[in-house]
Every structure is written in structure tokens, then in C-alpha cells.
Amino acid sequence: MQLTLRDICKTYPNGVQALTNVSLTIPVGMYGLLGPNGAGKSTLMRTLATLQEADSGTAMLGDIDVLQCKDDVRRTLGYLPQEFGVYPHASALSLLDYFAVLKGIGGRGARRDVVESLLHQVNLWDVRHQKLRGYSGGMRQRFGVAVALLGNPKLLIVDEPTAGLDPAERVRFLNLLSALGETSVVILSTHIVEDVSELCTRMAIIDRGRILLEAEPLQAVTDIRGRIWRRVVARDELPAVQRDHGVISTTLLGGRTVVHVYDQALPGAGFEAVEPDLTDVYFSTMAGHIGQHRALA
């Protein structure tokens, strides 16, 4: 089972080209779709979740035509949207049971087993009788995962799930997701590089509707070894450094400015080699040093 996307295009009525010839092969496991705000991630996620139409292209989940046979996909789809509205006065137990009825999970006993086991899995069992209104952001997200997992989906789509979670909730949430990647295609859309580096065995970087890089995170990091250089610069030096070098990122560390530069060789005095990470892969791609930007230029 894998999800295969070929040449998916989408232009909104206002003329925004949100997806341009998106082609991806997404195997069972955790797949990260990484890109900045407005890149087209939600458009792609909503299209795969059968909530909106593409203009052209194909998407096959095994032998199911995702764009044509929407009912077949919905039977095996779990979707956790960016904004997850909950009914504030319902408890997790009653609302999950309600969604299970909607999903067609029949037989009261069987349904109770499914609901109870999901509440354990997402670690909400102890608070199952509490109203959702009192839940933290992370608890709501985990409730959303429980809803998305009803009916054992073969395709699970999770759109920007960690925004707004505190570090402890984020870790708990990511651990939960990683357990799911063993049997299903799980697509995690995010603008947070760490979500992908910690969790995903494969990834793609998308910007302005185009796939710029498709890679295994570890391999992508290995591939740029020896090409990332770092220098601490004074604020007034920054414009010159940016003019003269392929600066991919500028960060602050203890009040000082640290630039990372992409170059095949030592860019000049004051630079030192750094062991790259996935953030360097991301910014090198966005700056056009690696990936498809180069082919487009």
C-alpha cells in the first residue's frame, strides 16, 4: 500500500496557484510535508482528505482513486485538520462514541470496546468524563487523533498538529503519532522542522505550490555535510556578509547573530564548519542551493 500523487494542480478562483504539478510517492510510515505559511500544504491535505477538488492530476491509495472515488477513500481515511472544533459541553467519552456511530461502527458492545481502547491509546482515559471545554490544547489534539483513528484508517492526514502545544504535550503527541506510522500511510504537514526530523522516515519540502525536495531526512542531512558554515557576526557586518555569501539562515544566540552559509568550500575568514541538521537542509532548499529550485532557476 502506498499513496501515489501525479501532477496535482490547483488554482483558486482568485488566481492563486496553490499547487503546481505535485508528484509524490508516499509509502506506509510517517511522511513529513514541510513548508512555510502559504506553501500549499493545507490545500494538498484537504484535497487528499476529499474536502476539495484538484484541477488536474491523480492520487492513488493502493488501487483506490482518491480524487474520483471519494466514498471509498472516506471509509479508510482519518483526518485531523488544522482547526479542530469541539463541542465544549460534551465529554470525550460521549463525543467519541457519537463520532463512532457516525463512522458506522456498529453494535453497542463492539463500539464501546473501540472507544475505550482509543481513549486509552491517546491517554485520555482518566479524563474521559470531563467536558472538552476544560481540556488543554494538547488534550484536544489527542482527542482529535482518537477521532481520526476511528475505523483503523489506512490513510491518516494530520495538518499542522503541534502549533500551540507546550513542549511536554508536543512530545506526548509526537510519540502517539509515531506509533501509528507502523501500519498506515501517515502524512504530517508542518512548518516545524523538528516535527519532521524527530518523526518522519521520508519527507518533502513544498514552497509556493511546488515540491522542491523529496528525501529521507537522514540522507538529506548527510548529503550537505561539509557545505554548511557558520559565523558569528556583529549586527553592522550582516548586510555585507549577506551580500557576499550564500546565507541560508540568520539566528540569534545569546544576543549575537549567527549566520549559516551554504558553500562547497570555506567561504572566508571567520567561518567554521558545522555539522548540518535538517534545518540546514530546509533553508538550503528554500534558498535554492539544493533541490528543484535549481532546476527551475
Ligand X SMILES: Nc1ncnc2c1ncn2[C@@H]1O[C@H](COP(=O)(O)OP(=O)(O)OP(=O)(O)O)[C@@H](O)[C@H]1O
Helix, coil or strand: residue 206: strand
Helix, coil or strand: residue 58: strand
- State the minimum distance, in angstroms, from the CB of residue 226 to ligand X: 31
Contact call for residue 190 and ligand X (CB under 6 A): no
- Tell me, what amino acid is at 126? D
Contact call for residue 184 and ligand X (CB under 6 A): no
Please give the torsion angle defined by the CA atoms of residues 264, 219, 258 and 239, in that order, rounded to the nearest 10 degrees: 50
Contact call for residue 38 and ligand X (CB under 6 A): yes
Contact call for residue 42 and ligand X (CB under 6 A): yes
User: Which residues of 102-220 form beta strands (DSSP E)?
Assistant: 155-159, 185-190, 202-207, 210-215
Contact call for residue 217 and ligand X (CB under 6 A): no
Q: Which of 191, 231, 260, 289 lies at the binding interface for ligand X (CB under 6 A)?
A: 191
- 272, 144, 189, 265: which is closest to 135 by C-alpha? 144
Which residue's CB is nearer to ligand X, number 28 or number 192? 192
Q: Report d(CA 215, CA 25) in Å as an integer.
A: 11
Q: Which of 29, 32, 40, 217 lies at the binding interface for ligand X (CB under 6 A)?
A: 40
| Cβ–Cβ under 8 Å, residues 185 and 61 | yes
Provide the 8-state DSSP code for 53.
Answer: -
| Candidate segments 36-44, 147-155, 177-185, 247-255, binder of ligand X by CB under 6 A | 36-44
Site string for ligand X, 132-171 (x = CB under 6 A): ----------------------------------------
User: 102 Cβ partners below 8 Å, 6+ apart?
Assistant: none
Name the residue with the smallest CB distance to ligand X. Answer: 42
Q: Which residues bind ligand X (CB under 6 A)?
A: 12, 14, 16, 18, 35, 37-43, 191
